[in-house]
């Protein structure tokens, strides 16, 4: 996989999305590569804020921005008509446009014409490499951890980034493997799994985490959920192709309904998610195990979060932590994930 060469730093475009769950690209860049984020910008009337300076494109260019990143994520990955004039304004100010949407920027005639006229780049991050193979199922060398979840947009990327960083700080050779547009922008490379033709999903995951030295860890960003009626396909292909040694189960405390399908589907139990993921993981790696639980407690106070984390750990018998909060609980989760050899010997 070739590394992306992107014009940086960025102006983050929140467009008209008012729910942070649908601005996860912008939030992820703010949290993990803040030095590359000059400012944020939204359509008039949008109250959503990330805490960055608010700048229009011309002001952001003067501050050093080189590209506008579409930081919003819509159902189906569409470029909304209401965004087009703002994107043209950004190009007229001197910014290239970076998108992780399913719909290509150049397929919007007004954007394509403006980019050609102004000499600006329309950069697509959600574009898989050509020539992806069908999966072989061959066991690869090295170690792999995959984050899986009870739903979409609840912390699989943050968990993988946090674990990879903790592994490296502990002296472990570890690489974060990005599988979605935000992770790819953060890491500078990866494969957008939800843009891969279904027959090649597991093969793409094999390419993403190739043979490595026995002491190397690939920490792989999960996608979707095996129990999400809309996105289970990408989750299963990624799970089979990753051949994980360790799974970390991700869940948002207090979430009751499947995102996007709230009227029809409740969130499955952690036990159901663990059982289903482990069954499929052991199809390609009989030694696969659960390392612990990553719990998104962003809606709770520090004391509430600690009590919930401790209670969930007691209930499940597994290490449980919020990787954003860190602390002793997260250190315990990290240690449990690295105990692969001991687990295999049992």
Q: What is the pLDDT of residues 249-279, one digit of tens each?
A: 999 999 999 988 999 999 999 999 999 999 9
List the structure tokens of 42: 């939204």
Q: Strands, E, within 236-288: which ranges? A: 246-252
CATH classification (class only), 10-124: alpha beta
Spatial contact of 251 and 241, defined as CB atoms under 8 Å apart: no
Spatial contact of 71 and 13, defined as CB atoms under 8 Å apart: yes
**For all residues of the chain together, what is the average pLDDT?**
94
CA dihedral 77, 85, 108, 113 (to 10 degrees): -150
Which part of the chain has CATH 3.40.50.300?
Answer: 143-345
Mean pLDDT of 318-330: 97
How far apart (Å, rounded) are the C-alpha atoms in residues 249 and 243?
A: 15
Spatial contact of 180 and 194, defined as CB atoms under 8 Å apart: yes
The whole-number pLDDT of residue 179 equals 97
Instruction: Kindly write down the DSSP assignment for every residue of 138-190, as one continuous string.
Output: PPPSSEEEEEEESSSSSSHHHHHHHHHHHHHHTT--EEEE--SHHHHHHHT--
Spatial contact of 191 and 208, defined as CB atoms under 8 Å apart: yes
Give residue-wise pLDDT tens across range 215-250: 999 999 999 999 999 999 999 999 999 999 999 999
Q: What percent of the chain has pLDDT over 70?
A: 97
Which part of the chain has CATH 3.40.50.720?
Answer: 10-124
The whole-number pLDDT of residue 55 equals 98
The whole-number pLDDT of residue 2 equals 58
User: What is the pTM (predicted TM-score) of this model?
Assistant: 0.92
Query: What CATH architecture is 143-345?
Result: 3-Layer(aba) Sandwich (3.40)
CA distances from 326 to 3, 25, 294, 329 (A): 30, 22, 11, 7
Nearest Cα residue to 137 out of 280, 12, 253, 242: 242
The whole-number pLDDT of residue 344 equals 42
Spatial contact of 69 and 13, defined as CB atoms under 8 Å apart: yes
How far apart (Å, rounded) are the C-alpha atoms in residues 329 and 303?
A: 13
Q: Is pLDDT of 302 > 70?
A: yes
The whole-number pLDDT of residue 21 equals 81
- CB neighbourhood size of 249 (10 A): 26
How far apart (Å, rounded) are the C-alpha atoms in residues 321 and 333?
A: 7
Mean pLDDT of 178-206: 96
Give residue-wise pLDDT tens across range 114-133: 999 999 999 999 999 999 99
How far apart (Å, rounded) are the C-alpha atoms in residues 26 and 35?
A: 13
Nearest Cα residue to 228 out of 149, 283, 142: 149
Give residue-wise pLDDT tens across range 71-98: 998 777 789 999 999 999 999 999 999 9
Q: How confident is the model at residue 345 (pLDDT cuts 50, 70, 90)?
A: very low
The whole-number pLDDT of residue 90 equals 98
Measured CA angle at 297 (ends 293, 302), to 5 deg: 115
Q: Strands, E, within the chain: which ranges? A: 10-15, 37-42, 67-70, 96-99, 122-124, 143-149, 174-177, 217-220, 246-252, 289-296, 320-321
């Amino acid at each position: 996989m070739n590394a992306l060469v992107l014009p940086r730093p960025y102006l983050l475009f929140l467009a008209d999305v008012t729910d942070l769950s649908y601005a996860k690209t912008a939030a992820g860049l703010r949290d993990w590569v803040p030095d590359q984020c000059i400012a944020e910008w939204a359509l008039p009337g949008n109250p959503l804020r990330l805490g960055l300076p608010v700048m229009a494109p011309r002001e952001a260019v003067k501050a050093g921005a080189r590209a506008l990143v579409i930081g919003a994520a819509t159902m189906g990955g569409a470029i909304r008509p209401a965004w087009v004039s703002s994107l043209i304004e950004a190009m007229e100010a001197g910014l290239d446009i970076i998108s992780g949407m399913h719909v290509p920027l150049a397929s919007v005639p007004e954007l394509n014409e403006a980019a050609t006229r102004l000499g600006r780049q329309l950069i697509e991050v959600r574009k898989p490499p050509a020539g992806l193979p069908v999966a072989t199922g061959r066991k690869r060398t090295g170690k792999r951890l995959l984050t899986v979840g009870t739903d979409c947009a609840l912390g699989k990327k943050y968990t993988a980034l946090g674990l990879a960083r903790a592994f490296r700080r502990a002296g472990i050779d570890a690489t974060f493997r990005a599988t979605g547009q935000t992770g790819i922008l953060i890491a500078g490379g990866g494969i957008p799994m939800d843009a891969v033709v279904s027959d090649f999903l597991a093969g793409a995951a094999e390419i993403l985490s190739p043979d490595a030295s026995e002491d190397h860890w690939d920490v792989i960003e999960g996608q979707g959920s095996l129990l999400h009626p809309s996105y289970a396909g990408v989750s299963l292909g990624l799970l089979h192709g990753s051949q994980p040694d360790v799974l970390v189960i991700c869940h948002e405390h207090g979430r009751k309904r499947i995102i996007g399908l709230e009227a029809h589907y409740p969130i499955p139990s952690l036990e159901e998610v663990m059982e289903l993921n482990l069954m499929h993981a052991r199809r390609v790696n009989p030694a696969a195990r659960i390392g612990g639980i990553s719990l998104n407690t962003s809606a709770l106070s520090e004391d509430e979060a600690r009590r919930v984390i401790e209670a969930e750990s007691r209930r499940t018998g597994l290490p449980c932590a919020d990787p954003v909060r860190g602390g002793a609980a997260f250190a315990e989760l990290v240690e449990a994930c690295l105990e692969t050899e001991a687990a295999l010997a049992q």
